[in-house]
Amino acid sequence: MIKKPSFFRFVFRKKKESLPKSLLPKVRSKTLPGPKSLKLAESLKRFECPEVTFIGDPFPVFLKEAFACNLTDVDGNRYLDLTSCFAVASLGHGHPAVLESIRRQSRRMIHGMGDVHPNEAKVMLAQKLSEITPQGLSQAIFSTTGAEAVESAMKTAAIHTGKPGILAFDGAYHGLTYGALHLTHRGNFKKPFLKQLSGLAVHAPFPDTRLYQNKASEVSMKAVASLVKKARRSKFPIGAVMIEPIQGRGGIRVAPPDFLKSLKEFCAREGLLFIADEVFTGFGRTGSMFAMDKSGVSPDLLCVGKGMGGGFPVSACLGAPRVMHSWGASTGDAVHTSTFLGHPLGSAVALAVIREIEEKKLVDRAKNLGDFFRKELWKLKEKYPIIADIRGSGLMVGVELAEPAYGTRAKKSVPATEKARKFIAEGLRHGLVMLPCGAGHNVVSLTPPLIISEKEISHSVSVFDKILQKL
């Protein structure tokens, strides 16, 4: 049996008690996936579209339970979750505050009538978000996924500016639904659907200091200005610019604060809306409540999701009244809505998550532990040249693996894609769940729950050391 905290101790823990404790990983199966996971994989092949889940050694293991920073699979193997399951479980899994909010709200009301007869929790969440988001973003459009929040922003920008075009950045990931897919940069996501996509989005170089050194902001801003000017004479004049202050799937690439300031000033001069996609980075992940806080820049629209719901699907597009009022008042038949808009259970959970982040000072915790994590990783970089870079902010860390490009004059490196794949696979065999990111799939993404401890980080780094010795 896998030792774990009991359900009742988890749910009814007193408020003054400490955060739930996780356990170090323990893999019991001789090989991964274990026999029960292999059996489930065969069933999944029969009943799920084959494009959805990758099946190949040693993936996937099939999860059964989760608590704190741990995931356990159907074969009884215990893992340390260094992903927060796509940066969602910021409080860890099965957090007492989340469980209690679900218990209480489910007794009152699980589902409501979002845009007809709103529920109380929705109003409370909208008010709370207006208090903690960058200045002036006091009105919300709720939804369930990050892509929906992005599309709410796209629609709002079109209505407010009268211009359909949007500028995004290379490496951007804003979702895979049709509207958001225009803004997502990677070609393999778009290729099957190109005939159904319009040219409403253009992409400028992301201000990547690793690529452009100290000219990163200058290179990117020149491209932005050029693309906006060129689009004026096109079918899709640009009305908004959308950026992830730190790219997630794009490789944990951090936009310099001076660039974000210049971009906001440019948007103001040109009459464009500045949209920040913080679906990945919001709610303490980067060591500030929102990544934009560090630059001192307040966007016109802000997209949030993932960590806000603690595992429950809830998202929002937040904006200033001057922008949101462009929609006009409802006439009783909302132009933009959805069945689960302002879901009462999702709203209650989000309120509990935000309250816990504030009361337990998890923003500061993310900053301090993120600094510790990167410091320990830099020690590994000194030992292993294959580590080309370590970057990020707070508990959003990217470890880039690359090798020198021999036989060329240029001082470039080649993405170590295959070695990154092996690193993540070996990590799983050692009980660590990680994900790849970046255009070359050669950046190891580390986004653990904000409740992870120094002990668990140190254990992870020691495992990395063992893997790198054999890589």
Which H/E stretch holds residue 397? strand 396-404
pLDDT > 80? residue 407? no
Query: Distance between CA atoms of 320 and 138, rounded to whole angstroms?
Result: 6
Output the pLDDT for position 237.
Answer: 98
| pLDDT mean over 132-140 | 94
Beta-sheet pairing, 139-143 with 315-319: antiparallel
In the chain, where the domains are located? 7-94+361-470, 97-359
pLDDT(358) > 90 = yes
User: Half-sphere exposure (CA, 13 Å, Cβ side) for 14?
Assistant: 2
| 135 — pLDDT class (breaks 50, 70, 90) | confident
Residue-wise pLDDT tens digits, 292-332: 999 999 999 999 999 999 999 999 999 999 999 999 999 99
> How sure is the predictor about 404, in pLDDT bands with cuts at 50, 70 and 90?
confident
> CA-to-CA distance for 55 and 39, rounded, in angstroms?
12
Residue 87 has pLDDT above 90, yes or no: yes
Q: Would you place residue 16 in the very low, low, confident or very high pLDDT band (cuts 50, 70, 90)?
A: very low
Q: How does residue 20 score in pLDDT terms, banded at 50, 70 and 90?
A: low
Q: Which amino acid is at 337?
A: T
Write out pLDDT tens, residues 223-276.
999 999 999 999 999 999 999 999 999 999 999 999 999 999 999 999 999 999
How much is the pLDDT for 10? 41
Tally the C-alpha atoms within 13 A of residue 70's C-alpha that lie toward its C-beta.
Answer: 20
| pLDDT for residue 15 is more than 90 | no
Question: Mean pLDDT over all residues of the chain?
Answer: 94
Measured distance CA(147)–CA(280) in Å, rounded: 11
Nearest Cα residue to 447 out of 432, 431, 466 = 432
| Residue 136: per-residue pLDDT | 87
pLDDT at 2: 45
Residue 448, CA distances (Å) to 93, 322, 445 in order: 11, 37, 9
Per-residue confidence (pLDDT) for residue 9, from 0 to 100: 42
Note the helical H segments in 397-447. Answer: 417-429
Per-residue pLDDT, averaged over 372-393, amounts to 97
Map tokens 């008690």 to a residue: 17
Residue 18 has pLDDT above 90, yes or no: no
CATH superfamily of 7-94+361-470: Aspartate Aminotransferase, domain 1 (3.90.1150.10)
What's the CA gap between 141 and 330, in Å, rounded?
13
Domain topology for 97-359 = Aspartate Aminotransferase; domain 2 (3.40.640)
ω before 404 within 30° of 0 (cis)? no
- Where does 200-343 have alpha helices with state H? 209-212, 216-231, 257-270, 321-324
Residue 353: CB partners within 8 Å, gap ≥ 6?
Answer: 90, 91, 97, 98, 283, 307, 308, 309, 310
pLDDT score at 21: 79
Asked whether the whole model's pTM tops 0.75, one would answer: yes
Look at residue 13 in the predicted model and tell me its pLDDT. Answer: 43
Question: What pLDDT does residue 325 have?
Answer: 97
Q: What is the pLDDT of residue 6?
A: 45
The rounded radius of gyration (Å) of the Cα atoms in the chain is: 22
- Residues 175, 178, 179, 181: what is their CA dihedral angle, to the nearest 10 degrees? 40
Q: Cβ neighbours of residue 12 under 8 Å, at least 6 residues apart?
A: 96
Sign for the CA dihedral angle at 62, 429, 425, 25 comes to positive
pLDDT single digits (tens) 429-454? 999 999 999 999 999 999 999 999 99
CA-closest candidate to residue 312, choices 362, 284, 353: 353
Alpha-carbon gap, residue 387 to 312, rounded angstroms: 35
